[in-house]
Amino acid sequence: MKLNKKTIISCVSILLCIATISAQEIHKLSYESPAQKWTEALPIGNGSLGAMVFGGVTEEHIQFNEETLWAGKPHDYAHKGAYKYLDTIRQLLTNGKQVDAQNLAMQEFMSTPLKQKAYQPFGDIYIAFKGHENYKNYTRELNIEEAISKVSYSVDGVDFKREVFSSYPSQVIAINLTSSKSKALHFDLWLDALHEDKTVKTVGNTQTLKVQVKEGALRGVATLNIQTNGTIETVNGKLQISNASKATIYLTAATNYIKYNDVSGNPENITQNTLAHVASENYKKVKKLHLKDYQSLYYRFDIDFGDNGKSANTTDKRIFDFWKTPNDPQLIALYVQYARYLMIASSRPGTKPPTLQGIWNHKLTPPWFSSYTTNINLEMNYWPVEIANLSECHEPLFDFIKDVSETGKNVAKEHYGAKGWNVHHNVDIWRGAAPVNHSNHGLWLSGSAWLCSHIWEHYLFTKDETFLKNNYALMKESALFYTDFLVEDPKTGYLISTPSTSPEIGGLVAGPTMDHQIIRALFKSVVEASSILKTDEAFAEKLTTMIPKIAPNQIGKHGQLQEWLEDKDNPESHHRHVSHLWSVYPGSEINYEDTPELMKAAKQSLEFRGDNGTGWSLAWKVNFWSRFKDGNRAYKLLNVLLSPAEIPERKIRGGSYPNLFDAHPPFQIDGNFGGASGILEMLLQSHLDKIQLLPALPNALADGEVKGIVARGGFELAFSWKNSKLQYVEITSKKGEACVLEYNGNTIEFDTKAGKTYKFDGSLNKK
């Protein structure tokens, strides 16, 4: 067929259009109907103020949260004098009397009270539209490139549009409504809440909701203000807007929480001042400030796995189809970008870290209190933050660590008679660091050490010595606790952690492998940090002496990496926790280069546990298989992680809800973050003092490009691949560190200068 100029131009236009659509779908969740369930609604957030947007037509429902509204009050959870029973509990475990040890610990060693407090929903915004029952052309989306939820539809030839976002610079939720016809916009607007103790008051164009948590010290104030070119009246406690073509609603919320030991705040003043500031700005300016702030973070990174046409489908259909046929490469790219979106929305400088549910919760009694679970879930939230180029979003975790180091000092003293600080497996906003819930899983000892690994990782990625200097004391004081806590095992002579658990399996034991891995990693990082900072030489020498005495990793009779000091692993167990593989990921002590036999044993352990699991467990396994350099096995687990969570014939647990929230089930945000981390580990690994490119690339992602991905050593990279072969790589050095680059058996080493970019072809030849 002969192509004329007009045909060629037409073909090029079509291809450009397809490319544009594909690019857009990486940054968008889309739907053809309003949300019926909370897990179908779309999340927005600015780190502290979050909401779920349902996108209703006759009635919009926006359920919102403020991160500091929790049950309870300032409280020291430490059990005074618990240390008196420590030696007895240890001896019972040595004598094989596990049940007796657990019972004594329940009576004399656990937190007071035994349970912590729950994160609370704040309130609800309702907007009822008159005469919108018969609508057409409905679309609903979350544009994660803009961090804006959008709804559009038409009624009787009039187009109605809605935008909702949560602004970090303005500290408000902004809702903008427009109609294409003058005076066609009519609606009622009001606030409500689930709390029993609540009041709603309307004055002029504002409405204020006040709530008091049940059996707690915290109260919240949420105020909305509406600006419109229509008329405003108050009817039956609701704001009634008529004859408008546009309206903008701003809502802000605050509580009296200041710190875990201070609830003297004035939420009335905070909300009044915030709204007074934003009321003087028009919507375009508020939106512009929001976009500038958000996109300064979001646009640092880009990822593309190519498109096969499925990206044109709605997100819920893509998830369903992925269950049947896991061939939607742009859904994988969207999943990574969505995790970055959720991180920016739930963890900004000056805010609190995301809980098990991020900053989104609609229940007065949420699953697992919607708290901070430190035996995996809180840390998993932050696995992708450095590699995905969102380093400052790590800051709320460091603030959290400072808080629990303060409460954890008293726990170390009262429970262990030890110096330093420690935290167990669960923490609430009151920073309870003592063991909670039950001794058979709550008496887990590695919390402070694991949290401190994030301080060290942040340094490794950024090479920021000022940061390391400012946070070194947290690492040192954590290590100090373990120098007092570790004891010699009478049977082996090793230093062991006792009493403790291997989360959340096997009950109270002496010497779980996970503890020893994490404590060794902490000691090594403190030794290295002390050398970098030229401080604490004597303490570093003490740790160096202790490290080889800590019980080592062991290979058991089934060829597995032992989970406990004794060789008692059950190869038939398919428990969701695989804690003893910590040194494979997120740690690095076990790897193919230095410890190949242990790597083989760790892989055998993971084979025994199987490919099933809840959401976050699947996500962790994706990271494990990426470290094992088996991208196809990792992708097999992504098939489950991104499949529908609520299909009866799908017998396995875990997966994704229609809004791409991770299903434990129920919803837990850690799977979103952990899954994204595992995908990025397929593309780049830098835990062995070198940068490995495409170390675990699955066949399903044979073509792709990533820009703005970050490696340890202060390096930012861009590279692409086609037919599973590297095409090019660009490396920008931020700190001028020496660089080791590895791909497909080729390794190059070169010195760098800060701020300079180095370019190579697919064979690592310099361009």
Q: Give the model confidence (pLDDT) of 509-533 as tens digits.
A: 999 999 999 999 999 999 999 999 9
Whether 206 is covered by a domain: the verdict is yes
Looking at the domain assignment, is residue 50 inside a domain?
Answer: yes
Closest by alpha carbon to 644, among 654, 629, 632? 654
499 confidence band (pLDDT: 50, 70, 90)? very high
405 with 493, same domain? yes
- The helix (H) or strand (E) run that includes residue 269 is helix 267-279
The residues near 494 (Cβ < 8 Å, ≥ 6 apart) are: 488, 511, 549, 550, 551, 552, 565
| Overall domain count for the chain | 2
CATH number at residue 259: 2.70.98.50
**What mean pLDDT, rounded, does the chain reach?**
95
What is d(CA 79, CA 71) in angstroms, rounded to the nearest whole number?
21
Q: Are residues 161 and 107 in the same domain?
A: no
| pLDDT band (50, 70, 90) for residue 654 | confident
Highest mean pLDDT among 242-251, 607-616, 638-647: 242-251
Q: Are residues 96 and 244 in the same domain?
A: no
Mean pLDDT calculated for residue range 413-428? 98
pLDDT of residue 502 exceeding 80? yes
Interhelix angle for 283-298 vs 329-346, to 10°? Answer: 120
Residues 103 and 238 both lie in one domain: no
Give the torsion sign (CA, 233, 235, 238, 243): negative
Looking at the predicted structure, is the pLDDT value of residue 4 above 60?
A: no
The answer to the question of residue 370 being in a domain is no
Residue 16 pLDDT exceeds 70: no
- Name the more confident of 573 and 563: 563
What is the pLDDT averaged over residues 682-687?
Answer: 98
Percent of the chain residues topping a pLDDT of 70: 96
Residue 615 within any structural domain of the chain: no
Q: Is the pLDDT of residue 23 over 60?
A: no
What is the per-residue pLDDT for 650? 67
Domain boundary among 299, 319, 354: 299
249 domain residue, yes or no = yes
Cα–Cα distance for residue pair 527/533, rounded to 1 Å: 10
Q: 171 and 223: one domain?
A: yes
Domain that holds residue 89: 79-112+397-426+438-549
Whole-angstrom CA distances from 309 to 329, 330, 331, 490 are: 10, 9, 11, 64
Residue 484 lies in a domain: yes
Whole-structure pTM value: 0.96
**Bridge pairing between strands 136-143 and 28-31:** antiparallel
The answer on 32 and 152 residing in a single domain is: yes
Q: How far apart are the first and last CA of the chain?
A: 40
Q: Name residue, tokens 């470290």.
A: 627
Q: Give pLDDT, residue 281.
A: 85
352/378 Cα distance (integer angstroms): 12
User: Is 617 a residue whose pLDDT tops 50?
Assistant: yes
**What letter represents residue 202's amino acid?**
T
Distance CA 339, CA 657 (A): 14
Q: What is the pLDDT of residue 613?
A: 82
Residues 92 and 178 in one domain: no
Q: Cβ neighbours of residue 6 under 8 Å, at least 6 residues apart?
A: none
* pLDDT score at 490: 94
136 and 180 together in one domain: yes
Same domain? For 93 and 225 the reply is: no
Q: Is 342 exposed, middle or buried (0-12, 13-18, 19+ CB in 10 A)?
A: buried
Residue 755 and residue 739 in contact, taking contact as beta carbons nearer than 8 Å: no
Question: Does 227 map to a domain?
Answer: yes
> In this model, does residue 3 exceed pLDDT 90?
no
Write down the residue that tokens 């970008």 correspond to: 337
What number is the average pLDDT over the span 338-346? 98
Phi, psi of 385, deg, nearest 5 = -65, -40
Dist CA 572 CA 648 (whole Å): 26
- pLDDT > 50? residue 12: no
**Do 108 and 130 lie in a common domain?**
no
Tell me which long-range contacts 162-167 makes (C-beta under 8 A, separation of at least 24): 162/55, 162/60, 163/287, 164/44, 164/51, 164/53, 164/62, 165/44, 165/287, 165/290, 166/44, 166/45, 166/46, 166/49, 166/50, 166/51, 166/345, 167/46, 167/286, 167/289, 167/290, 167/293
Phi then psi dihedrals of residue 742, to 5 deg: -130, 135
User: Which one of 549, 580, 602 terminates a domain?
Assistant: 549
Residue 429 has pLDDT above 90, yes or no: yes
Residue that terminates a domain, selected from 282, 299, 316? 299
pLDDT digits (tens, 9 = 90+) for 662-672: 999 999 999 99
- Reported as a single tens digit per residue, the pLDDT across 139-175 is 999 999 999 999 999 999 999 999 999 999 999 999 9
Q: Is residue 343 part of a domain?
A: no
**In which band, very low, low, confident or very high, does the pLDDT at 647 lie, cut at 50, 70 and 90?**
confident
Same domain, 170 and 286: yes
Query: Rounded to whole angstroms, how far apart are CA atoms 114 and 442?
Result: 10
Question: Same structural domain for residues 55 and 96?
Answer: no
pLDDT above 90: percentage of residues in the chain? 92
pLDDT interval class at 25 (50, 70, 90): low
What is the dihedral sign for C-alpha 371, 577, 603, 324? negative
User: DSSP character for 352?
Assistant: P
By DSSP bridging, strand 739-743 and strand 691-693 are: parallel
| Peptide bond just before 552 cis, omega within 30 deg | no
In this predicted structure, the answer to whether residue 696 has a pLDDT above a threshold of 60 is yes
Tell which residue, 365, 381, 364, 360, has the closest CA to residue 50. 360
The CATH number given to whatever domain includes residue 467 is: 1.50.10.10
Q: What's the pLDDT score for residue 612?
A: 82
CA distances from 752 to 117, 235, 607, 733 (A): 50, 68, 41, 6
Residues in Cβ contact with 745 at an 8 Å cutoff, skipping those fewer than 6 apart = none
Residue 606 in this model has a pLDDT that exceeds 80: yes
Q: What gap in Å lies between CA 735 and CA 742, rounded to an integer? A: 20
8-22, 112-126, 633-647: which has the minimum mean pLDDT? 8-22
pLDDT digits (tens, 9 = 90+) for 446-488: 999 999 999 999 999 999 999 999 999 999 999 999 999 999 9
Q: What is the dihedral of CA 501, 502, 504, 507, to 10 degrees?
A: -40
Assess contact for 439 and 110: CB atoms under 8 A: yes
